[in-house]
Structure 1
Amino acid sequence: MLRFQIHVDTRYLDDRSLPDENKYVFAYTITIRNLDTQPAKLINRYWLITDGNGKTTEVSGAGVVGQQPTIQPGSEYSYTSGAVLESPVGTMEGHYEMEVQGGGNFKTPVPIFRLAVPKVVN
């Protein structure tokens, strides 16, 4: 398995959220850095999204934001996407399925991260 570093930044999108309708919209930016000596292509993603009420949603699919980037050694790839929760707090976690040039796939875990409306504690 190759070595990758995952960094996540999140933000609440107040202008797109409708709290009275239990619709809380968040953006997240993920940076994937290849710490290894071989390139790898991100071919699939998997997310487990849990809101503050305990409701879970699983999301999977090809690539990220319509792309299947190849990440070269020592370089990084960043993208921004979003999630809609029915509560002001929640979490996301998952993995990326990566393909090594020359054959073989492996999963790179994305550690759990928090989505939260500022100044809300649950």
Structure 2
Amino acid sequence: MYRAETRGIRVTVEPRFVEEESQPEKGKFFFAYTVEITNLSEDRVQLESRQWTIIDGLGRFQQVKGAGVVGKQPVLGPGESFTYTSGCPLTTPDGTMQGSYLMLLETGEAFKAEIPAFALDSPFVKRVIH
């Protein structure tokens, strides 16, 4: 499990390899990740948008930006949480993801809540120890 906290917004991520949606012999590896966003602050916030950096096992970067998450822009009061699951296809058996959510306070102030960097590892990764 991976965790980061920014201005009272805690983001926890749990990734997993999805074997039934992968075809390793064809270079298709699918990963799911469950994210829990918890508002530990005293302010009401809304998740406006997301930004991801995805890096595959060969070091290739991909940027993904968009409104909300899974079609929603949740509003979280103090102590409330929002959980969702999404996925990421890769052409390599491993990679990493990290990013941020743009959060909006009722005052109109916006800030970025960090999404911690997390590993996408499948059983098909060949590790070399020196």
Judge conservation of contact 2:13–2:33 (CA < 8 Å) in 1: yes
Q: Which of residues 45, 48, 55 in structure 1 aligns to 2:53?
A: 48
Give the alignment's TM-score, normalised by structure 1: 0.95
Q: Which of residues 20, 38, 41 in structure 2 aligns to 1:36?
A: 41
Q: Which of residues 23, 30, 35 in structure 1 aligns to 2:28?
A: 23
Correspondence 1:14 to 2:19: yes
% identical equivalent positions = 41
Q: Deviations over 1:25-63 (max 9, x none)?
A: 000000011110011000000000001111111000000
Q: Deviations over 1:48-98 (max 9, x none)?
A: 000111111100000000000001111111000000011111000000000
- Which residues of structure 2 form unaligned runs of 5+? 1-5
Partner of 1:113: 118
SS at match of 1:37: coil
Q: How many residues align?
A: 122
Structure 1 counterpart of 2:13, which letter?
Answer: V
Q: How does 1:74-113 map to 2 (within 5 A)?
A: 74-113=79-118
Runs of 4+ with deviation above 4 angstroms: none
- Which residues of structure 1 form unaligned runs of 5+? none
Partner of 2:68: 63
Give the alignment's TM-score, normalised by structure 2: 0.89
SS at match of 1:74: coil
Query: Alpha carbon RMSD of aligned pairs, Å?
Result: 1.3
